[in-house]
Each structure stands twice: as C-alpha cells, then as structure tokens.
Amino acid sequence: MDIMHQVGHYAFQYYGVDWAVTLTVFIGLFLLGDKKIAGFWVGMASATLAFIFSFQIGSIANGVTAAVLFALYLRGLLRWRAMERKEKMAN
C-alpha cells in the first residue's frame, strides 16, 4: 500500500465526520470568542456530529462527552437570550 493510499484511508475512514467535528469546534469557539451567538449553534452542531462519531468508533465515553457538551452549549444559548431580553426590557 503506497503512502498516499494510506493517508487517504486513515484521513477519511470515518467518512469525514471526524474532520467535520474538528472544523465546527474551531469555528464555534472562534465565534464565541468574538461574542457571536452563532457560536452556540455551531457548537451544538459540533456536539451532534461528535455524538455520531462516537457511534462510529464505538466509544461510550465520547458519546457522553458529546451529549454533555450539547447541553452546555444549549444552556449558554438560553442564558445569552435571557440576558438579551433582560437588557431590552431595561432600555
């Protein structure tokens, strides 16, 4: 097996889901760092993809982590929205 075939095999053995998780984690964190609410939505998408990936690799711990991360992103989103509503009412 030549090197390029090996790289291709290992890079895409999970159909790109692992790469999608990686990319969405980075984008979500970047958006949250810029104080953009979209970072929570991207983060929840990332956690969903990570949950799918956990089934592909057969890792219960990874699935639990993904579920907890999804819940934390959702909590952050809801708190952000509540804070925005509170600020609008104050003005």
Instruction: Express each pLDDT in 28-46 by its tens digit.
Output: 999 999 999 999 999 999 9
Q: How far apart (Å, rounded) are the C-alpha atoms in residues 48 and 36?
A: 20
66-90 mean pLDDT: 95
Count of domains forming the chain? 1
Q: How many Cα atoms within 13 Å fall on the side-chain side of residue 88?
A: 6
* pTM as predicted: 0.84
Range of the domain at 45: 14-90
**pLDDT, position 48:** 97
**Domain-embedded: residue 85:** yes
**Domain-embedded: residue 30:** yes
CB 54 within 8 A of CB 74: no
Q: Quote the tokens at residue 36.
A: 């953009």
**15 pLDDT more than 90:** no
**Domain-embedded: residue 44:** yes
**Domain-embedded: residue 8:** no
**Domain-embedded: residue 26:** yes
**Domain-embedded: residue 9:** no
**pLDDT, position 1:** 62
